[in-house]
Each structure stands twice: as C-alpha cells, then as structure tokens.
Structure 1
Amino acid sequence: MTDRELPSSQAVHVPRYAFEAMAACTALDEDKVAVMLLLLVRMDRNRSVRIDTSLLPDFLTLSSERVERAISSLIKNGWVDSVDEDEMRHRVLDCVVHSAFIHADFDTLMRIVNTRLTAVDVH
C-alpha cells in the first residue's frame, strides 16, 4: 500500500493546518479522517488521487463496511469531488481533494470541514 519512493516531481506540499484540522475532527468521525489523511498524502499536484479501496480495510484495520461508509461520507460532504463513478464500481476511488485542504487557511478549512460534518456522519 505504501510507496517506497515518491519522485520529488510528484511530491505535494500539504499545509500543516490540513493535518491539524483532521486531528480536530478525529473524535467526530475517526474512520472518515483516517481515509482523508491517506488521500491527502497520496494526492498529486492537481489534488487528484486514485486508490484501490479494496486494500483499505486491511491497511486501516477497519471493516469493509466502515471504509465504504467513510468514503461515502467524504463524497457526500464534499471533502472530495469529481469522483469517477465507473471506477467506484471497480472499487477504485478516483477523485479530487477539495481545494480548501491545500489553498485555505486553518480557520477557513475548519469552517468548511465543520459545515460538512453532520449528525449522520457520527457513528
């Protein structure tokens, strides 16, 4: 699941505040935060990420149902968009991370993240 070496041309700078915002949300929905953190470290310079979701349950030590629920929540709440539905049917999440995770300050990101957290997301 992990890349041994990531070419520097593919490295993406994710601001520290994005990880701080995720840490602040952990108690509300730790599964969604775990998946989002993985997406943040796997995205390319265009905020695109493609990941085989069949590998996530073992990698994150979560049940398949919890991973599926977390991914659905990320999509529903707009933390990722431009999701390729055809790829999803093949258990591949091909999407774009919301620009606020890269191009907003901490307070703005927290407002976006918090408005996208609902009682339905908490389990």
Structure 2
Amino acid sequence: IGAGGPTGGVRRVECIRFRIGGDGYESPIDEDDEDADNMHESGTIKETFDVCLAVSFGSLTGEWIAKGLTATTENVKDEAQTAGSKNLEPDRLDVNWKTKFLEAQRKLWESQEEVKSLKDKILEAVL
C-alpha cells in the first residue's frame, strides 16, 4: 500500500513584535532595537507569530503560512467563541436574509410580468 502517511510539520516560526503607542498604532520593533528588551515591563508590546508549515505525501508536497497568530492567556469559557469568530445576532441576520430574499423574489416576479406584457404587446403589434 505504501510507506505510511504524510510527513512534515512546522518548518519555522517567526515572532514579530510591535510597540503599541498611546494612540493605538502599532510599529514593528527591529531585533537590534536596544529598547525592545525594556518594553516588556510596560505592557505595550504585541507579539504575533507567522508559522510556516510543510507536508509531503509521496511526490506531492505542499507549504503554507499562517500569519498574524497571537497567543493569549485568557481562559475561554464559551468554546464556540474563538478569537476569529464574530458575535453576530443570528435572529437579526435571519430576518435580514429573509427580507432580502423576499424583496429579490418580488422584483423577479415583477420583471417576469413586465416581460410577459411586453411580449403580448409585440404580438399584438405584429398581428
């Protein structure tokens, strides 16, 4: 059958550090920045991670990068809520979706009726 499953894994992880100013803007910190080590106590440093992954399955190989990942120390009580999920109101979205659908359906029927009446007028004019 073959020599097992896919092989590979994490190739490299890059940590990118940002200094967050009082106005909320982020500016990257260079590795050779002498103030970077002293900034950890002030709490105005943000770290993001770029993870490069690779996998091989026989002669098929692939690579991809996940950029901008952050590590948090918060305990997530609601497993459905993750850092990337949005807290949207499902009931409101359903109503908006239904309203938009019904409006589009009404416009479609109106245009079909208009086409039918135009066809009838053309047939009357020709005959």
TM superposition score category, shorter chain reference: under 0.3
Higher strand share: 2
Decide which structure has the larger Cα Rg and report it.
Answer: 2
Greater fraction of residues in helix: 1
Q: TM-score w.r.t. structure 2 length?
A: 0.21
